Structure 1
Amino acid sequence: MTNEELIRFNTKLATVNLSLQQNAEGLTLTDGELSIMVDFREMLPRLKQSNLQREMLVKAARIKGQPMPQTLIDATAGFGEDSLILAAAGFQVQLYEFDEVIAVLLKDGMERALEIPELKEAVGRMKLVCGDSTEGMRKLDFKPDIVLLDPMFPARQKSALIKKKFQLIQRLESPCSTEEQLLDAAVAADPKRIVIKRPLKGPYLADRKPSYSLEGKAIRYDCFVFARN
């Protein structure tokens, strides 16, 4: 990131008492006490092939009987952990992140990950788009096999890292699209499947019942299946 870009971001972030800092480790978002960055090295244990096959997200997204790579849109990328898991499992992933601060942190993390042999192949299957996915999914020049939706909801994990992320991220401007707009745009992309990540006991997104759900201990994946020629 150039000094001019850093100044532009920090001028905007000053209104919510946050700033971006570039150091030897990478780009970080901080409020002076808490700081976060995208570091995919923390995900390496989950990316082992034996572990990937047990990931409920991979089971929810993969279309049986169809060869890989299957194309997937992650419409709510955040810090890209889910996209990385899916890319490591062989999916070709296009990520959308609405907030430009989160997007630039993710871009920085992806660029650093490309220099790490254990991550290079998976990150090479990830393409980041900074913008509103509700608009982007209506203008695609291809039909994705799967669309993943993970609207932000309160932190369900108890780790300090997750709490730290949410404390800082919640200060940033939220997307203006509603649940209905997000789901309608996903349907308009004409995928074979839509996968929605939800709290285990949370309501259906936009009150629409899925074809089926996969339940874990804390989260649930609601799956919509569509017939497509």
Structure 2
Amino acid sequence: MTEATQDGGVELRRDDEGLALVGDGMVLRADFTRLLPRLRPDRLGRELLVRAARVRGVEAPVAVDATAGLGEDSLLLAAAGFSVVMYEKDPVIAALLQDALGRATAVPELAPIVARMELVQGDSIAGLRGLAASGPAPDVVFLDPMFPERTKSAAVKKKFQLLHRLERPCDDEAELLGAALAARPRKVVIKRPPKGPLLAGARPSHQLSGKAVRYDVIVVPPRTR
């Protein structure tokens, strides 16, 4: 059954497997079960994102994923012990993510992980500014904003082209980064393609790089938290 139709020839449909984005003969569905191999304890600790986001001396760390998308990075953080607040501005992408969260509660290996994930459908810049004004400060703010060059990359899987019809490139990187820093986290972790530019030109404290992705880590001085 069709739930909603979007511009660009894609539509949101629900079938026996859940909610999906459909168009041009392709189907995109948020599905956390396919990440189960990466959640094994012997693999999770080697994930670059987990290494980049790790905070020491905090029993119950909190992360804000300001650009949640389909929630896969948030799932890794939650599996590593973070409570994760996810912001997704696009209502269709948020619906896909919410559906995936609901289905994951029925999977024993995923249920305790997604219980630590909260989705907010709205503007993360406003949310981060709210934290800056009234707290509490998160331990980590994670940013993975899309930028125009990425939509043309051969590395983008064909089915994710559907998602890019809804997702818009970040139109104000400085504003997003400024809001993240103003929330007073211990660190801001920024996901970039290996050779991608620095977000808003901000130099990181350090970087972790792999073949397909790079994480720029900005450690926020304690006196500004």
Normalization by structure 2: what TM-score? 0.90
**Can you give the 5+ residue segments of structure 1 that lack an aligned partner in the other structure?**
none
Q: Is the 8 A contact 1:195 1:223 kept in 2?
A: yes
Counterpart position of 1:195 = 189
Residues 157-204 of structure 1: per-residue CA shift (max 9 Å, x gap):
858xx3311x10121152664111110110111111000011111111
Q: Distance in 2 between matches of 1:177 and 1:144?
A: 24
Structure 1 segment 176-191 matched on structure 2, within 5 A: 177-191=171-185
**Residue type matched to 2:91 in 1?**
E
Q: Hey, what does 2:62 align to over in structure 1?
A: 71
- Sort the Cα spacing of 1:79 and 1:173 in 2 relative to 1 into closer, same or farther, 3 A: closer
The structure 2 residue matched to 1:222, chosen from 205, 216, 223, is: 216
Between the aligned partners of 1:178 and 1:129, the Cα distance in structure 2 is 21
- 1:107 paired with 2:87, answer no
Q: Give distance in 1, aligned partners of 2:122 and 2:213.
A: 26
In the alignment, which residue of structure 2 is the partner of 1:94?
85
> Which of residues 122, 131, 134 in structure 2 aligns to 1:131?
122
Task: Give 1:68 shift.
Answer: 3.0
**Correspondence for 2:112:** 121
Structure 1 residue 215 displacement after superposition: 1.3
Give yes or no for contact 2:146–2:169 (8 Å, CA) kept in 1. Answer: no
Which residue of 1 is the match for residue 158 of structure 2? 163
**One-letter code of the match for 1:90?**
G
Counterpart CA distance in 2 for 1:83 and 1:46 is: 13
* Corresponding residue of 1:150: 144
TM-superposed CA distance for 1:218, in Å, is: 2.2
Q: Is 1:85 the counterpart of 2:71 in the alignment?
A: no
In 2, the alpha carbon distance for the partners of 1:195 and 1:176 equals: 16
% identical equivalent positions: 49
**DSSP-derived class of the 2:159 partner:** helix
Mapped contact 1:75–1:97 kept (Cα < 8 A): yes
Structure 2: 5+ residue runs without aligned partners? Answer: none
Larger mean Cα displacement after TM superposition, 112-121 or 211-220: 211-220
Distance 1:176 1:209, change over 3 A: closer
1:59 pairs with 2:51: yes
Does the alignment pair 1:42 with 2:34? yes
Instruction: Name the CA distance, whole Å, in 1 between partners of 2:190 and 2:126.
Output: 18
User: Distance between the aligned counterparts of 1:44 and 1:68, measured in 2?
Assistant: 24
Asked if 2 retains the 8 angstrom alpha-carbon contact of 1:75 and 1:148, the reply is yes
1:23-34 mapped onto 2 (5 Å cutoff): 23-34=15-26
Say if 1:97 and 1:129, in contact at 8 Å, map to a contact too.
yes
Specify the SS of the correspondent of 1:57.
helix
User: Aligned-pair distance for 1:227?
Assistant: 2.4
What one-letter code is carried by the residue in structure 2 that aligns with 1:26? G
Task: Tell me the TM-score normalised to structure 1 length.
Answer: 0.89
1:21-78 C-alpha deviation (Å, 9 max, x unpaired): 11110001101511111110100000001100111110100112x2332100000001
Quick one: which amino acid aligns to residue 124 of structure 2?
S
Moved more, 97-106 or 148-157: 148-157
